[in-house]
Amino acid sequence: GEQVEQLPSILRVQEGSSASINCSYEDSASNYFPWYKQEPGENPKLIIDIRSNMERKQIQELIVLLDKKAKRFSLHITDTQPGDSAMYFCAAPYGSSGNKLIFGIGTLLSVKP
Amino acid sequence: DPKIIQKPKYLVAVTGSEKILICEQYLGHNAMYWYRQSAKKPLEFMFSYSYQKLMDNQTASSRFQPQSSKKNHLDLQITALKPDDSATYFCASSQMGVQDTQYFGPGTRLLVL
């Protein structure tokens, strides 16, 4: 099928700690994995992405890891802040030509001060 | 200035009616997309277009028809509206295709009574 599994659906962490979200995909041809952050009432916004020629990418406090063999990728937010509280979505391309971006179900992250 | 414009922001419709959701992007992108977001299916891919041509779709119902009059326009016509169509519809665009960063519009919130 064309699914992106995302876990956990809800994540509560203490300010200053790390938060990790895990995703898995099914199509071995997928080669682009973006992460989006969505705040209440807003549109999704890209925060970081990784392509299949990389295993790790970091932008400030955001780290993405990609394990192509296992078809898994993950987002790690280090030193979380209350402003990181939001919905996070992972995604992967599917379709015969990779022309559709399928999103995971989302993770609601809550960072407590 | 908003680079992706969606009109209207809010829309209330009666069951059985027809509505058109407008999307215009001023990013100079060649690919455009429609997504739907509801409580049941958080971010659901609907259509992808490249250079005004349909690349892929995930919508089983023919009641949903994209319309592209210009390269930077991708409207969504919905006929015979049902209460289940109630959702936020996001338009997005990217430079060339699914594996380029997609930027989302602000969304149209549709309520079907």
Q: At A84, give phi and psi (nearest 5°).
A: -80, -10
| B99 → closest Cβ in A44, A96, A98 | A98
pLDDT at B1 over 80: no
The percentage of residues in chain B with a pLDDT greater than 70, rounded to a whole number, is: 98
The C-alpha of B18 sits at a distance from chain A's nearest C-alpha, in angstroms, of: 25
- Nearest chain A residue to B31 by CA distance is A99
Residue A20: which region, alpha, beta or left (left: phi > 0; alpha: psi -120 to 50)? beta
A103 to B97: CB separation less than 8 angstroms, yes or no: no
Q: How far apart are CA B21 and CA A94, in angstroms?
A: 25
The C-alpha of B105 sits at a distance from chain A's nearest C-alpha, in angstroms, of: 7
Q: How far apart are CA B112 and CA B16, in angstroms?
A: 9
- Nearest chain A residue to B40 by CA distance is A105
Q: How far apart are CA B102 and CA B61, in angstroms?
A: 25
| Cβ within 8 Å of residue B80, ≥6 positions away | B16, B18, B63
Contacts of A49 in chain B (CB under 8 A): 101
Tokens at B55, concatenated: 């690349």
Q: What pLDDT was estimated at residue A27?
A: 87
Cβ–Cβ under 8 Å, residues B4 and B103 = yes
pLDDT at B64 over 70: yes
Q: How far apart are CA B57 and CA A100, in angstroms?
A: 7
Q: What pLDDT was estimated at residue B98?
A: 86
Contacts of B43 in chain A (CB under 8 A): 36, 44, 89, 91, 103, 106
A100 to B45: CB separation less than 8 angstroms, yes or no: yes
Cβ–Cβ under 8 Å, residues A109 and A14 = no
* pLDDT tens per residue, range B84-103: 999 999 999 999 888 889 99
Q: How far apart are CA B112 and CA B38, in angstroms?
A: 13
Using a CB–CB cutoff of 8 Å, tell me whether B95 touches chain A: no
Reported as type and span, the H/E element at residue B29 is: none
Q: How far apart are CA B90 and CA B88, in angstroms?
A: 6
Q: What pLDDT was estimated at residue B39?
A: 84
pLDDT of chain A, 113 residues: tens digit per residue:
789 999 999 999 999 999 999 999 998 888 899 999 999 999 999 999 999 999 999 999 999 999 999 999 999 999 999 999 999 999 999 877 778 999 999 999 999 99
Using a CB–CB cutoff of 8 Å, tell me whether A29 touches chain B: no
Contacts of B90 in chain A (CB under 8 A): 43-44
Using a CB–CB cutoff of 8 Å, tell me whether B98 touches chain A: yes
* Secondary structure letter of residue A82 according to DSSP: G
Cβ–Cβ under 8 Å, residues B69 and B88 = no
The C-alpha of A17 sits at a distance from chain B's nearest C-alpha, in angstroms, of: 27
Q: How far apart are CA A105 and CA A5, in angstroms?
A: 7
Using a CB–CB cutoff of 8 Å, tell me whether B34 touches chain A: no
pLDDT at B60 over 90: no
